[in-house]
């Protein structure tokens, strides 16, 4: 007997038929003798519809009221799933965020879970009852409904698993696990049986949209064993675990990419102290996140190019900020370029292997792909490329690091 949290996203509960299928999935675990808490998102499309209504009513809206409206999506799903389970003869009941309660901070629209009181749920496990919990929502200190931000249901599931001291948290999604690369691009990509929290964290933040970054961080912190698997096929997925649970460590576990970045170059900036501080200070103040930065030493000691990347959605805001700095920062031109892609290799084994970056650069050079910016961490190397090279670069690196399936 194990204690499990099963999480189903919007696509998995997108219709009455699919909700019934989810109920059958849950039934299997219950009949295997497990204690089960289920976490569900709103039916796919529903959150967008509700967000649309709030936008139509008022362009600037109170985040507290936004949360009231948007959290109703999960409320519908938990009720329906509890009914579907009962229809299969399973003892089940729904739990809204305020009922559990899942206590959060009062940052409406992006609240953080602070405490979950699972006493009632655990007592009902003893009666064989399945807990069907609304993801994405909680209750704030003023007794008002909060939401955790987009993709927050993954976080709800992991937090609940931690609070319940669950043996595993299974994230059911529309892919059947974590791959060595996007299979739509790298046809030889294969599913990973296991991956470390650290690698998953890099993959999540680098664009692999399988799990929300916050949920992986939380799982790592609370040592929650995660599994990513398909809600449509009955196959084992990918386990996200501690490094010590990985038998054979790969140098590189996966190749990932994200098109969410845009490059900005300040040409011929005066090479004097304080310029970078002025630019990035002003951007930080305007809440524009800067990712990669590269600045070369100038040859003549007078002027150099300053290049950095920001989220593609923040490019306009970024250019506005730079425009306001004209008087303080002298430069020949500001050149924005949204047509870039960040391609990354990720692997725990990198820490103990020299020459990984060199292998990456050589493989790309051989295909004539120019690297614009480089950034590295202990377990990843990212390069910025012209967007048109995305597929070629991913495939090239997948082969270069011996990830191609036999």
Residue span binding a copy of itself (CB under 8 A) among the ranges 61-69, 104-112, 180-188, 304-312: 61-69
Q: Quick check: 298 and 304 in contact, CB under 8 A?
A: yes
- Name which of 99 and 375 has its Cβ closer to a copy of itself: 99
- Which residues in the 96-115 window bind a copy of itself by CB under 8 A? 96, 98-99
Considering the rule CB under 8 A, would residue 58 count as an interface residue with a copy of itself? Answer: yes
Tell me the C-alpha distance between 73 and 41, whole Å: 8
- Name which of 29 and 65 has its Cβ closer to a copy of itself: 65
Residue span binding a copy of itself (CB under 8 A) among the ranges 92-100, 149-157, 240-248, 282-290: 92-100
Q: Mark 286-315 with x for binding to a copy of itself (rule: CB under 8 A) and - for no binding.
A: ------------------------------
- Which residues in the 343-402 window bind a copy of itself by CB under 8 A? none
The least distance separating a copy of itself from the CB of residue 221, rounded to whole angstroms, comes to 30
Q: Quick check: 256 and 207 in contact, CB under 8 A?
A: yes
The least distance separating a copy of itself from the CB of residue 99, rounded to whole angstroms, comes to 6
Q: Quick check: 157 and 215 in contact, CB under 8 A?
A: yes
Q: Quick check: 257 and 338 in contact, CB under 8 A?
A: no
CA distance readout (Å), 283 to 25, 91, 168, 372: 48, 53, 41, 21
Q: Quick check: 257 and 207 in contact, CB under 8 A?
A: yes
Q: Hey, what are 228's tokens?
A: 């990513």
Considering the rule CB under 8 A, would residue 123 count as an interface residue with a copy of itself? Answer: no
Considering the rule CB under 8 A, would residue 129 count as an interface residue with a copy of itself? Answer: no
Q: Which of 38, 80, 310, 322 binds a copy of itself (CB under 8 A)?
A: 80
- Name which of 145 and 181 has its Cβ closer to a copy of itself: 145
The least distance separating a copy of itself from the CB of residue 148, rounded to whole angstroms, comes to 17
Considering the rule CB under 8 A, would residue 75 count as an interface residue with a copy of itself? Answer: yes
The least distance separating a copy of itself from the CB of residue 118, rounded to whole angstroms, comes to 15
Residues 6+ away with beta carbon under 8 Å from 295: 276, 304, 305, 306, 307
Q: Considering just the CA atoms, what is the radius of gyration of the chain in Å? A: 24
What single DSSP character describes residue 297? P
Residues 6+ away with beta carbon under 8 Å from 52: none
Considering the rule CB under 8 A, would residue 93 count as an interface residue with a copy of itself? Answer: yes
Considering the rule CB under 8 A, would residue 168 count as an interface residue with a copy of itself? Answer: no
Residue 107: CB atoms within 10 A of its CB come to 14
Considering the rule CB under 8 A, would residue 117 count as an interface residue with a copy of itself? Answer: no
Q: Which of 62, 115, 242, 243 binds a copy of itself (CB under 8 A)?
A: 62
Where are the extended beta strands (E) located within 24-140? 35-40, 92-95, 102-104, 113-116, 130-134, 137-139
Residue 110: CB atoms within 10 A of its CB come to 14
Region for 136 from its dihedrals, namely left if φ exceeds 0, alpha if ψ lies in -120 to 50, beta otherwise: left
Count of residues interacting with a copy of itself (CB under 8 A): 39
- Name which of 50 and 293 has its Cβ closer to a copy of itself: 50
Residue span binding a copy of itself (CB under 8 A) among the ranges 62-70, 289-297, 348-356, 370-378: 62-70
Half-sphere exposure of residue 280, counting CA atoms within 13 Å on the CB side? 16
- Which residues in the 14-53 window bind a copy of itself by CB under 8 A? 16, 19-20, 50, 53
Q: Quick check: 190 and 179 in contact, CB under 8 A?
A: yes
The least distance separating a copy of itself from the CB of residue 274, rounded to whole angstroms, comes to 43
Binding site for a copy of itself (CB under 8 A): 16, 19-20, 50, 53-54, 56-58, 60-62, 64-69, 71-73, 75-76, 78-80, 82-84, 86-87, 93-94, 96, 98-99, 143-145
């Amino acid at each position: 007997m194990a204690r499990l949290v099963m999480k189903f996203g919007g696509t998995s509960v997108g219709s009455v038929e699919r909700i019934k299928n989810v109920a059958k999935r849950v039934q299997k675990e219950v009949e295997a003798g497990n204690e089960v808490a289920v976490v569900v998102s709103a039916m796919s499309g529903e959150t967008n519809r509700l967000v649309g209504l709030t936008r139509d009513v008022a362009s600037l809206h109170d985040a507290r009221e936004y949360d009231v409206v948007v959290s109703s999506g999960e409320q519908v799903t938990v009720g329906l799933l509890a009914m579907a389970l009962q229809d299969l003869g399973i003892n089940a009941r729904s739990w809204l965020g305020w009922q559990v309660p899942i206590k959060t901070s009062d940052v409406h629209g992006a609240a953080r879970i602070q405490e979950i009181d699972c006493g009632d749920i655990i007592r009902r496990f003893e009666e064989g009852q399945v807990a069907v919990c609304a993801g994405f929502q909680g209750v704030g200190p003023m007794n008002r409904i909060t939401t955790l931000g987009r993709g927050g249901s993954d976080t709800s599931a992991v937090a609940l698993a931690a609070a319940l001291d669950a043996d595993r948290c299974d994230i059911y999604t529309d892919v059947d696990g974590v791959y060595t690369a996007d299979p739509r691009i790298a046809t030889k990509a294969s599913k990973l049986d296991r991956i470390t929290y650290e690698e998953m964290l890099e993959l999540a933040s680098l664009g692999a949209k399988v799990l929300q970054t916050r949920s992986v961080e939380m799982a790592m912190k609370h040592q929650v064993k995660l599994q990513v698997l398909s809600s449509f096929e009955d196959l084992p997925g990918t386990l996200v675990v501690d490094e010590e649970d990985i038998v054979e460590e790969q140098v590189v576990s996966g190749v990932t990419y994200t098109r969410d970045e845009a490059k900005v170059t300040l040409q011929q900036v005066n090479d004097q102290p304080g310029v970078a501080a002025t630019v990035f200070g002003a951007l930080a103040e305007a809440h524009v996140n800067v990712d990669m930065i590269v600045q070369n030493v100038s040859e003549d000691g007078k002027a150099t190019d300053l290049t950095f990347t920001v989220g593609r959605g923040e490019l306009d805001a970024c250019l506005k900020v730079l425009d306001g700095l004209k008087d303080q920062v002298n430069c020949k031109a500001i050149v924005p370029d949204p047509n870039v892609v960040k391609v990354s290799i990720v692997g725990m084994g990198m820490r103990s292997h020299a020459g990984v970056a060199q292998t990456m650069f050589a493989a790309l050079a051989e295909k004539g792909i120019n690297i614009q910016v480089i950034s590295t961490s202990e377990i990843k190397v990212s390069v910025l490329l012209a967007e048109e090279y995305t597929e070629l670069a991913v495939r090239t690196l997948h082969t270069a690091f011996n990830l191609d399936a036999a």
